[in-house]
Structure 1
Amino acid sequence: MRSVRAAGPRAQNHHHQLLLLVVVVVGRISACWLEPHSGYVSCINMNLKEPPPRDSLPANTTELDISFNNISRLSRASLPPLAYLQVLLLGRQLQGLVVEDLAFAELPQLRWLDLGGNRLLVLEPRALWGLHRLEKLQMDYNGLEDEVLEGDFFRDLTSLRELDLTGNSLQRARLSGVFLSMASLRVLKLRSNTKLESLCEGDLAALSGLRLELLDLSDTRMFQDTAFNWTECGNPLRNLSFGLLDISSTTFVPSSLQNFLESIRGVPIKALNLCLLPNIGRSFAFMNFKEPVREWFLGLEKSGVEVLDFSRNRVFSLHPRVFSAFPAVRSLDVSRNKVNEIAPGAFQGLESLVFLNLSYNLLGEIYERSFKDLVNSPLDSIDLSHNHIGIIQNTAFAGFPHLTMLDLRDNSILQLPQLMLPSLTYLMLGDNRLSNLYGLQTMDKSLVFLDVRRNRLHNLGEVWRAMASPRVQFLLFEGNVLRDCPPEATPWSPNNSLVYLDISGNTMEIAWASGHCTDMFHTLGALQKLYLDRNLLTALPDGLFLGLSSLLKLNLSNNHLSSVSAASLEPLRSLEVLDLAWNRLVVLDPMALGPLALLQLLDLRGNPFHCTCALMPLLAWLNSSASAAVASFPDALRCASPAELQAVLLVLLDSQGCEEEDPQLVRHLRLSLLCASSSAVLLLLVATLGHRCCRRRFYHGLMWLRELLLTWEWGATPKANEKRGGGAEFYYDAFVCHSEADFPWVRSELLRRLDLRGGRGGPLSMCLEARDFVPGEAHMDNLVRAVDASRCTLCVLTRHFLADSWCMEALRLAQGRGGSLGTRHDVLVLLLGSLPEFQLQRHGPVRAHLQAGRPCVRWPEDPQDRDWCADLLLVTIREGVPCEGPQGGTRFRMRSLRAVGPPT
């Protein structure tokens, strides 16, 4: 085996030299990334010291990005002459950038030039000359000062439409005369020039008569000086008009804001951005800040503002007529403030308002007086979402015939008010605390979209209530606890227009498992999308999807489905998307998807597939060309079991060894197995009944069969053994009387030794309780029969024998049938274990047996003597002679008894 060693100093030095050589070579020959057939070339972050040479670039290059490099100087000779280049991005050079005169003269088609992010940018006076077709120039965060606007740097930029000077060091935005030729300029960005202190009349005079789509003055420090002379400053925006004037995030104090807006009186402004003003509004507890009032905005009364963004401030209270200076405003955004109070008349004067946004505030109640001043306006939409609204007065929105959208999401509404809104189309009530939709009937004539997600609805009757509107098309009930089916529930009217139904995140399993409301979809013939995910479904009720003839998408993901049948999907002939992800499908029969002829997308991710031969039909279906475009995410389908295939992709499984079984053969085998098992059960039943009814005859039959077998084997039967002295015949040679606890020793030790010594006379015929007693008969009858049918009784005397009353009764019974040896019935006692004399004397039958001097044999403790004792027992039982041992005699006096054999 090869050994692994650490590299020595010489080898490490060689590796370092090779790495340095690779770095040098890569630094010299790094190639830019080319996008075929598009003209785009990217050389971003390639440590270039100069622009790529002309021969390394395609002739049709239209966009060249060489940002994030180390280019320190640009000259006319360094930039390759590219006749079709329109976009050149030179931002973020890491070591600063110097642009020489006429550096871009060889790029006549350039439309967009990006020099932003070069904080050490140095422009020579004629650096940008020759760019007559340039439309967009980005020079943000270059550290530029006032001379860039006051000089002739932009002399040839006659086609310029957008100039971005964000984040520079401008102190005053005074434009030079070269801007007079920029008749196409539409966007001027002066944002984040933190040194910009003022903007006065004449600074933008070079743009006189233009309409700027955007003038961005946000995030500046203008007019911080409260002693600023506004009379001398004049109107900084005179003879200009604006699509959007952005003065957000400025440090205006209320007085300076009012003076600035007064100074631009009459300037046409379509949209005004006044958000994120740090000194406006007292919020919840800052009483030293002022709230906005009507007088602040009087300067804009004739500016024709249509869009006012007053969001993300700290306004707590809306004072009366605060927005009356904006009679033409159509969209008012007061979101993300701290509004808690709406004074009567707060919206007075907003005669053209169409959209009102009060979301993300601290409103708690809505009264009739809150929006009473907007009754005569063409108000179309109100956004009151993400507040703390708990109560809405029933007449709060009365008199709004044009209101089509009301957004009340994420509030604390407990009861839906009876809103008289005849034109309401979109009603959003998600994330509230509604337990019913009582009151919806007052607005259901025109309702098309209803959102009641994540409320506390539990009765499916609320879905029926929402369906009462004949125009409703979209119902969103996701995240409730729908589970109760109303007793009067009937299928919806077939005239409904519902196309989208979301009941996900509920507990529909509770309703459907009890067999209720399973016909709720039967009349939704126009429904196209149905979401039933996260409903704890374990099975799909039969006929659940009947009537869904137009359904295109069905989402059953994140349930507990273990199987999907073809019968349940049969009605979904038009289905295109089926989502079964994250269920408990162990195997899926492709035949279940047979009715879905138009299926285009099937999601099976997250199911615990059991990869056995039963899964092979699904694998064959997934690998077929017909379904290749249907199964989505094939790389996410993995085995969950067995353990040796866990996490293996389904597409990598091999079907070898999974031959298809013959259905006809399987049918025959099942029939044969059924017949055999039925016959076995029948025979067992007959045998049980026969034994129950005729067990006595059955027992005598077994005895006769046993006698016949012994006659064939030994030529004699137990009945042939005549009793000496009386001539009687017996079934057994001896009846072994023992306690149940001693049976293992009797069977493994005593009987085994006696059977091994059967000799020519054959084995002894011993009567045992466990084998020869008739089941079901009285125990005493069995004892009498055993004693009468045996030549002698052998009692195994132990501690358990003395404690067993039936054993003592058997001994007494045997003593009554005869006396000592030589009489009609012999009683032999085999003493096993150590028993004290006083304990034996306590039991009458044992005491009488010993005092009469009848045979009592002890089982030897020495294993060598046990064979001798077994031989003597065998002779005594057969011939009836007394046992004599080495010590002479088999009768023992009580005081000579001692513990012998294994203790018990």
Structure 2
Amino acid sequence: MPAQEKLPERLKHLDLSHNYLSSYVNEENVFLRMPTLISLNLSSNSILTTMENYHEDVFQNFTRLKVLDVSNNTDYFAEIRENQLLDSVWSPLISLEKLNIDAVQNVTFGESIGNLTKLTNLTLAGQCTHARLTLIDKDYFQHFPYLKILDLSSNVYYNAVKHYYDDVGYACSLEQIDSGAISILQNLEILDVSYNRLLGLCGFRNISYDLPQTNIKIFKANFLHCESGMSFMLFCDDIKPLKNTSLRELHMDGNHLAFGQMGLIQYIPQSLERLSIKSNRWVVDQYTHVFLEFINGIKYVDLSNLNDHQMSRSFNIYEYCHNYLASVNCQKYRGQSLGTEQTPQTDGDCPLENATSSQQYTEVGEGRIEIRPPVSEHSKPYCSVDFDLYNLHVLYKKVPPNAETIVLNNSRLGLELTWTVFRNDTLTSLILSHNQFYSMMGPICNATKLKHLDLSHNRCSRISTYVFEYQPNLETLWLNDNLIGDSNLFEHENMNNIFANQSSLKVLNLTSNKFHWIPRDMFWNLRNLRHLRLDKNRLSDWNFTVGHMNKIEIVNLSMNSILSLSDEGIDLINHCPSQNLRIDLSQNPLQCTCKTQRFVEWMSKNSEKFLNIDSYRFDCTEKQNLTETKNYLTKQCSSYFSVILACSCLGMAFVCFILVVILYRYRFKLRYWYYIKLKIDSTHVNPLDSRQYRFDAFISYADEDRSFAIEQMLENLEKKEGLRLCIHHRDFMPGTSIIENISNAIHCSSKVVFVMTNSFLKSEWCMYEFQAAKAESQYSFSRQGSMMLFLMREKFLVRKIPNSIQTMLDNDTYIEYPVNSEDEPEFWVTLARAIQD
């Protein structure tokens, strides 16, 4: 014990549990004299419950103490001592409200504890020891007149701890509670005798007969038989006294109950609100359903875990039942009113006490539940206010008129959740998980107030689109651990309507359903959804819309097959209006490639949207987190991008250079093809109507030679020789481009005459006219012979003449303009003949 002077002043709560304390006395022979303490926890030490430790001076200053826990202080091998009376030790604890102490043989509480008027909560810890209390006689609680809460439960499950001792069961359990022991406690409201595996239903019966003398509200009598023991029948006499109580909760879990005597329901008090009879062995047919529809006050019923028998337990031990013969004798004793003592009959009915009971029993006999053939999945059933009681397709379920919660988890139900009608529309929670509903067709009718529906762990691979159509108020729907992803739902044309009426849904669990993909509009009406679980599936992308979910908070996509999110998936997330959206992508095989760089950068930019983002690992050269992956991809992908961009730019520049060279080299031919072939030929005008051209010659000259062309050539060739010349200063059409006029003139002229001067060679338009005439001469099939005539009017150096013109001058004859004026008449005649040739 710590020294007094080292403790803080005004200490209110002190916890010294799980130490090695063996005594309340310290070196100064003073035990923690602290009057300010409100709670003191000395549990799980080695302070034995003896008069030496609990002498009158131990708690003398604890006048304000309200909670005292000295339980679990008795060692397993503790010896059974002679009678120990703990009396005056309790007198100082005038404020004590709750006491936890070991239930040890031969230890009793004296009269002084009866003066603690505030002591309403007592726990007699059922620790596994050889000194464990086994018998509670009728006078054991005579000094506890104010108790409201009494816990006599064993601390451990029968074989969960110290199972290597063969007699562990005997060291953990009460064996008997005498009649009258509980009736003394007139203020008792809560009683728990659970996990006393040797107490049995005989001990239960003794207690039930005492309860009418108490103010009992909650009675817990769970697991009163050894785990591998025989099955039992619940007799009317077991619960008959409960009818005269105001009981609100009754728990009888794990008592190997397989049958219920017909008519026992009349003894269930109408005040009962919660009934738990799970983990029993109820057989099929009438005994499974004890016709609870006649208990008006009941709101909660738990009939789950009918498969929770000894062979399916998780403990690696097959418990040997030491008290098997005692269980047999107890069954004979409890059933001696039926048949003979040697062969008690289990099919006898409870005696009816009044007309009301008789009427109820008659209704029970006529109201048995029958399973009818399922309705065809090709015709959609309907829910109506007036149901046909003789409809062969409907499964009618009777529940208490005010029932709110029905738990049928792991209750051997199946194989199909067919067209089901509840006779009373009161349910708010229905749990049907861990059954064998391989098919869920529905609909579920007359359950419009249902808020929580659990259909998980049913391995369902066949489901209809209307199964939830008549539950508009659902807030939580659990469909996890089924096979909906492999069902034919996604082949149905109305697949998007499976949750069409669940606008109030807040939580939807679709975990472990083998979904490969989610239809885009599957959740189109879930506007109030807050939590969507799609983890442990096979999804590879986000492909469903959330743009209408204003309140969505969590979308769990962990443990899927997502390598990255596509651009479409990212856009769908970005359109979500909820500011509280959080996405879980943990434990996905996220890729680290240049193709996923945009996804990684987007995730880094929106890191607040992702849950557990620090745990994400990307498959780069080694597993890396988000920040490392982003830096890695920035370095790797940017270098590749620069190389690719540089090569692309160089390639494009080279191609453009080649195109420019080609275009420049053949610019005149291209212009010719454009204006002649595309413009003129497209009009289907043939320039050779009757083998005639519009002009005999097109005169190509520089602007500096205009006077020669207009004065000399027109005078001598048109007026004297009668030729038709095309002079661009006179014959070009106004409003038309020069290029088009040139092309038209050459195309419509029989010959082209080039007036070769130094000005001609410098003129860009003259050179264009030369190239156009050359192209016309080469590519026009209507031409025969050369159409180009060169009139050499000036003398100039050969190096000034372009190669293309020089080549033609070398191969073809040309006409030189005469130096002497007397030779001009003959020159013009010769030129006219050349044009007309």
**Secondary structure of residue in 2 paired with 1:97:** coil
8 Å contact kept, 1:281–1:316: no
CA 616–281 in structure 1, closer or farther in 2 if over 3 Å, else same: closer
Matched, 1:556 2:544: no
Q: Which structure 2 residues correspond to residues 423-462 of structure 1 after superposition, within 5 A?
A: 423-434=426-437, 436-440=439-443, 442-443=445-446, 445-455=448-458, 457-458=460-461, 462=464
Query: Shift of the alpha carbon at 1:299?
Result: 4.3
Structure-1 separation of matches of 2:153 and 2:477: 45
- Alignment partner, residue 296 of structure 1: 238
Matched, 1:111 2:38: yes
Q: Tell me, which stretches of 5 or more residues in structure 2 are unaligned?
A: 75-79, 156-171, 310-348, 350-355, 362-370, 375-391, 659-837
TM-score normalized by the length of structure 1? 0.51
Structure-1 separation of matches of 2:358 and 2:275: 12
Q: Tell me, which stretches of 5 or more residues in structure 1 are unaligned?
A: 1-49, 54-77, 285-289, 378-387, 577-595, 681-904
- Alignment partner, residue 627 of structure 2: 651
2:512 partner amino acid: G
Write the deviation string for residues 803-826 of structure 1: whole angstroms up to 9, x where unpaired: xxxxxxxxxxxxxxxxxxxxxxxx
- Alignment partner, residue 889 of structure 1: none
8 Å contact kept, 2:259–2:288: no
Structure-2 separation of matches of 1:520 and 1:436: 20
**Secondary structure of residue in 2 paired with 1:207:** coil
**Secondary structure of residue in 1 paired with 2:89:** coil
Query: Shift of the alpha carbon at 1:375?
Result: 12
1:293 partner amino acid: F
8 Å contact kept, 1:133–1:158: yes
1:336 partner amino acid: S
1:247 partner amino acid: V
1:330 partner amino acid: E
8 Å contact kept, 1:271–1:305: yes
| Larger RCO of the pair (alpha carbons < 8 Å, separation 6+) | 2
8 Å contact kept, 1:601–1:629: no
2:6 partner amino acid: P
Structure-2 separation of matches of 1:272 and 1:545: 48
- Alignment partner, residue 670 of structure 1: 648
Structure-1 separation of matches of 2:528 and 2:281: 44
Matched, 1:80 2:59: no
Structure-2 separation of matches of 1:258 and 1:280: 20
CA 390–182 in structure 1, closer or farther in 2 if over 3 Å, else same: farther
- Alignment partner, residue 248 of structure 2: 306
- Alignment partner, residue 22 of structure 2: 96
1:278 partner amino acid: H
1:191 partner amino acid: A
Q: Which structure 2 residues correspond to residues 124-135 of structure 1 after superposition, within 5 A?
A: 124-135=55-66
Structure-2 separation of matches of 1:177 and 1:546: 72
Write the deviation string for residues 54-101 of structure 1: whole angstroms up to 9, x where unpaired: xxxxxxxxxxxxxxxxxxxxxxxx563532112223345537325269
- Alignment partner, residue 188 of structure 1: 122
Structure-2 separation of matches of 1:675 and 1:476: 62
Query: Shift of the alpha carbon at 1:258?
Result: 3.7
8 Å contact kept, 1:389–1:412: no
1:244 pairs, out of 165, 190, 197, with 190
2:69 partner amino acid: Q
Q: Which structure 2 residues correspond to residues 761-776 of structure 1 after superposition, within 5 A?
A: none
Structure-2 separation of matches of 1:390 and 1:161: 59
Matched, 1:329 2:272: yes
Query: Shift of the alpha carbon at 1:414?
Result: 2.0
Structure-2 separation of matches of 1:345 and 1:505: 32
**Secondary structure of residue in 1 paired with 2:560:** coil
Structure-2 separation of matches of 1:323 and 1:79: 63
Q: Which structure 2 residues correspond to residues 536-685 of structure 1 after superposition, within 5 A?
A: 536-541=538-543, 544-545=545-546, 547-548=548-549, 550-573=551-574, 575=576, 603=585, 605-610=587-592, 615=597, 618=600, 622=604, 629-642=608-621, 646-652=622-628, 670=648, 673=651
- Alignment partner, residue 807 of structure 1: none
2:58 partner amino acid: A
Query: Shift of the alpha carbon at 1:457?
Result: 4.8
Structure-1 separation of matches of 2:210 and 2:525: 65
Q: Which structure 2 residues correspond to residues 84-483 of structure 1 after superposition, within 5 A?
A: 84-94=10-20, 96-99=22-25, 103-104=30-31, 106-121=33-48, 122-123=52-53, 124-143=55-74, 149-167=85-103, 169-171=104-106, 173=108, 175-192=109-126, 194=131, 196=133, 198-208=135-145, 210-216=146-152, 224=176, 237-238=183-184, 240-248=186-194, 249=196, 251-252=198-199, 257-259=204-206, 261-262=208-209, 265-278=212-225, 283-284=230-231, 291-322=233-264, 324-327=266-269, 328-340=271-283, 342-343=286-287, 346=290, 350=295, 352-361=297-306, 394=394, 396-398=396-398, 401-410=401-410, 411-421=412-422, 422-434=425-437, 436-440=439-443, 442-443=445-446, 445-455=448-458, 457-458=460-461, 462-467=464-469, 469-478=471-480, 479-482=482-485
CA 191–502 in structure 1, closer or farther in 2 if over 3 Å, else same: closer
Query: Shift of the alpha carbon at 1:524?
Result: 4.1
Structure-2 separation of matches of 1:413 and 1:303: 37
Figure out how many residues of one structure are paired with residues of the other and give that number.
545
- Alignment partner, residue 505 of structure 1: 512
Structure-2 separation of matches of 1:463 and 1:408: 24
**Secondary structure of residue in 1 paired with 2:561:** coil
2:429 partner amino acid: Y
TM-score normalized by the length of structure 2? 0.55
Write the deviation string for residues 679-723 of structure 1: whole angstroms up to 9, x where unpaired: 99xxxxxxxxxxxxxxxxxxxxxxxxxxxxxxxxxxxxxxxxxxx
Query: Shift of the alpha carbon at 1:133?
Result: 0.8
Structure-2 separation of matches of 1:477 and 1:637: 27
8 Å contact kept, 1:104–1:131: no
CA 130–102 in structure 1, closer or farther in 2 if over 3 Å, else same: farther
Write the deviation string for residues 205-244 of structure 1: whole angstroms up to 9, x where unpaired: 3333x2422243658766759xx8x6xxx55642632121
**Secondary structure of residue in 1 paired with 2:237:** helix
Write the deviation string for residues 292-331 of structure 1: whole angstroms up to 9, x where unpaired: 3122344444333222221111222111234544413322
- Alignment partner, residue 493 of structure 2: 488
Structure-2 separation of matches of 1:344 and 1:549: 45
- Alignment partner, residue 758 of structure 1: none
CA 455–670 in structure 1, closer or farther in 2 if over 3 Å, else same: farther
Structure-1 separation of matches of 2:429 and 2:557: 27
**Secondary structure of residue in 2 paired with 1:179:** helix
Write the deviation string for residues 271-305 of structure 1: whole angstroms up to 9, x where unpaired: 22222222899735xxxxx6331223444443332
8 Å contact kept, 2:299–2:400: no
Structure-1 separation of matches of 2:118 and 2:606: 56
Structure-1 separation of matches of 2:624 and 2:511: 31
Alignment RMSD (CA, Å): 4.9
Write the deviation string for residues 401-443 of structure 1: whole angstroms up to 9, x where unpaired: 5444444444341222433223444344444444543331534
Q: Which structure 2 residues correspond to residues 684-699 of structure 1 after superposition, within 5 A?
A: none
**Secondary structure of residue in 2 paired with 1:99:** coil
